[in-house]
Chains A and B, each alone.
Chain A
Amino acid sequence: MSRYTSITDSDRRAMLETIGAGSLEEVFADIPAEVRLDRDLELPPGMSELEVTEHLSALATRNRSADEEVTFVGAGMYDHYVPALVDSITQRSEFLTPYTPYQPEISQGGLQVMFEFQTAVSELTGLPVANASLYEGPSSVASAGYLAKLENGRGKLVASRGLHPHSRETLSTYARGFGSRVEETPLDERGATDLEALAAAIDDDTSAVFLQQPNFLGTVEEIGPLVEAAKRTGALCVCAVDPLTLGILKPPGEYGVDVAVGEGQTLGNRLDFGGPSFGFYAAAERYLRKMPGRIAGETVDVDGKRGFVLTLQTREQHIRREKATHNICTSQALNALAGMVYLAWLGRRGIVELGELMARRTDYAREALGLEAINPGPVVREFAVRVPDLDRLMESAREDGVNPGYRLGQDYPEYPDGLLVAITERRTRADIDRLARHAAAVRDEVPA
């Protein structure tokens, strides 16, 4: 039952009369009989709003949300607090229900948000230009690979195994299309990118080199030498970053990367079982006319009044078609708005304070767990440990309502007993101590 329509029987009669058709069937005459569906769709009948709500609620209760356990799971998306302000603004119809601002005169709100968002991404990353969002993190990484292909045409992409496994896999998926191959380089015994192995993999055919700071294990990489090695043969250096750590970690623009990308979920977006969130993409000035995604620019109207428009659209598919530098159209504007509102809420000092809090609690948690560190070096929001009996820890902690973290073995066979533990401002010292008690139980049972 299509309750969102409002055509009455008398409307239908009048409309068909205006059309000059005896029935709607006549209007569909162009659809040949052999491709007509000669039965009803085999789907359940429509439901009342009450029934829909109850059905969806029943499904939702079969999930264990981050409200129902103390979760130390991160691995690219994190249980951060989202202020009420964000929902209140993103649920406004004026932001929720328009489309891409093709008519700038009636879209100044959305366009100005894009401009402010681009500014925030540029500030965080220390790179001069940023777009208005891409889909999410890993596909943004892959899009940077495509930029490198357009830029230098070389055939090899070198990725540290410190790059998120989903980013590495997505990069490989895309690269098979545009004709590059991906070579992965290992982490060293301290869970950091192995500089020598990285340098050895880079040659004259290397199109781009991919790093992540902090890396997937949470290690704060000694990034300078890695970037230097990356750029030795003229390859592009792409670094994935977690924006919420950029209050305390050096911005990628300062260590000379060509492109910084990342997952925006940590900025005011829900966990949502993985999406929608947003990806961001910032670059050195020389890539401004090649980078993907919408870009808002400042201009003036005929009266000289300040305003904003979508600009540099000759990069884009709707203008340049096969000559476009990317195929993206619909992106993640509403999620980027949430990110912008969140960053305004956090503010200049807040992002530093939050970063400091995470770094201190992360340091405390690693000590408190007392397990062998896979990455004993600096960490700021996540760290990896070896757990003597990981299954038992998972089981005992989960019975107590604690989710200890992400099993590394599913992506890193080299760490079969690895556990990746993430800390946010929601994980208090008491939460950490609770996890530590479970860790102590498995630690003490296994002889050293």
Chain B
Amino acid sequence: MSQSKVIGFAPGGEDTVTIYERSQPGRRAFVAPPIDVPEAPLEELIPQSERRAEAPALPEVSEPEIVRHFNNLSKNNFDLDTGFYPLGSCTMKHNPKVNERVAAFPGHARLHPAQEARYAQGALELMSRLGRALAEVAGLPHVSLQPSAGSHGELAGLLLTRAYHDDRGEPRTKVLTPDTAHGTNPATVRMAGYEVVKVGTAPDGGVDLDDLRRKADGETACLMLTNPNTLGLFDRNISEIARIVHDAGATLYYDGANLNAVMGISRPGDMGFDIVHFNLHKTFSQPHGGGGPGAGPIAVSDRIEPFLPRPQVVEVDPGNGTAPVYDLDLVRPKSIGRLRGFAGNFGVFVRSYAYICSLGGDGLREASDAAVLNANYLKARLAEPGIGEHLPIAFDRPCMHEFVLSGQGARRNLGVKTLDIAKRLLDHRVHPPTVYFPLLVDEAMLIEPTETEPKERLDGFVEAVRAVLEEAAEDPEVARGAPYTTPVRRLDEAGAARRPVVRQPPAGAEPPGDPGDARQVTSGSL
């Protein structure tokens, strides 16, 4: 079978064993510091009614075995530092190593969030500088770094919109989202207490202006838009869209997931957006961490500024010719309030600020240029005979940093679905594109190569896709049964949802601890 032609990715090498299954009573990694105060009996300190009767069943494992456990688990992950990861809408660009180093400086990593401002001047200055840089990229004057991720930024944006309309005495009930929007947009609309109204897409892939004109009315609070949109297309009518939305008295919200296409080229503020969120883990190189941490700062126009979350970093000029002093402004009477504890994901700010310092203004522009060049090159190569007829481009226009193919041809011509192609690509050691999104395109594949990939990697991906399709033409069963070389093969997701097992089952009878260990007896006797 042709599956033997590809080199598999090395499985972890061990059977699936959880850390709890490695646990043996009496083993340990932690050694407590000595008790240097009087050993008051615990029952004198905490009433029986509030004490825990039995220690939680955390694993009992030695340090060497903990290391092996997690190292082996790590080998079952495919990651960006290992290979190509064209996951559309996620901007899987290189995560510079220097960022990890500077984030770990004790002055950053060991700074308590309640440290007084006068002893945190470096941190506040960094936040202020990052905010100014983001404002310049967005073309909007005011920034809050507080939101923890893109979806948190979206929530901030709609709460700001609500506060803005309430302040004007004209509360509104609806938020418009295009049918191409990220799922977070409509979900956020509901969390912010609004009704979702969908706006259609025109044949050229942009917002359907007639539909927008029909739906934007006195009840419309906001239009949430991604530009370039999730099809990877820049909406040529953006100025007209902004006019329609603003004439209706609504705000225009920019989902910044796709900002990587336009840094230094076109700014959301100049397009007419009132509120923008950034994904520092996409555009500004914070490692994705297997699903976070990220950060979702927002930039806003003057009319939205009074409502920004508390606290805000402010720069105070002492007026005597000395350097500015930074502070956290907690007063802000019209603020929507906090969105989280303390001042945000500072460790992420450090990495993204370091990234901006490394690239500079010209480098950010070059990054966007290269991201768009790479995407258009890959799009052109995937249109070649042998591929293009099976995976036609959904909207045949120059794309920005990503583009959408439809697997309709492959399904019809070869009898394999987008899912099968994605799974077979796993055997070729590349991460598949985002699949089945956007919903508008049948059998969609959303491909975003990013600027940090060299031409050879893009060519390699093209050859992998070609090989999968050629193989499917001979025998579609291969792709339908893929993957073969991964640590596990296709998993029963329906079964997992029907009979959810979401934790290690508690041990029926927990084995007693080692009676020879006095400390264990103390602990066990709680």
Contact = CB atoms under 8 A, between A and B. Distances in A.
A102 B180 CA distance: 20
Interface string A318-357: 1111101011111111110100110111111111111011
Interface stretch (A62-70, A204-212, A436-444): A62-70
Contacts of B497: 297, 311-314
Given A92-B74, A118-B503, A222-B49, A364 B341 contact: no
Contacts of A231: none
A73 B112 contact: yes
Q: Size class of A's contact patch?
A: 35 or more
A393 interface: no
B370 A139 contact: no
B150 interface: yes
Nearest to A12: B373
Contacts of A76: 113-114, 341-342
Interface of B is mostly: loop
A223 interface: yes
Nearest to A123: B56
Contacts of B60: 347-349
A105 interface: yes
Nearest to B163: A176
Contacts of B93: 4
Contact of A220 (B18, B19, B46, B162): B46
A350 B31 CA distance: 7
Contacts of A4: 93-94, 96, 285, 359, 367, 451-452
B100 interface: yes
B491 to A, nearest CB: 5
A276 B293 contact: yes
Interface in A50-92: 51-53, 55-68, 71, 73, 75-77, 79, 83, 85, 87-89, 91-92
Contacts of B107: 57, 59-63, 65
B460 interface: no
Contacts of A93: 79-82
A115 B488 contact: no
A134 B464 CA distance: 36
Given A246-B56, A429-B36, A106 B122 contact: no
Looking at A58, A103, A296, which has the most chain B CB atoms within 10 Å of its CB? Answer: A103
A297 B236 CA distance: 44
A35 B122 contact: no
Interface string B122-160: 110110000001001101000000001111101100110
Contacts of B413: none
Contacts of B49: 222, 224, 250
A93 to B, nearest CB: 4
A418 interface: no
B291 A330 contact: yes
Contacts of B111: 63-66, 271-273
Interface in A2-57: 2-7, 11-12, 14-16, 18-21, 24, 26-32, 34-37, 40-47, 49, 51-53, 55-57
A129 interface: yes
A359 interface: yes
Nearest to A98: B79
Contacts of B50: 213, 220-223, 249-250, 378
11 contacts: A21-B376, A34-B239, A43-B360, A57-B102, A59-B123, A91-B100, A123-B506, A172-B337, A250-B49, A321-B187, A341-B70
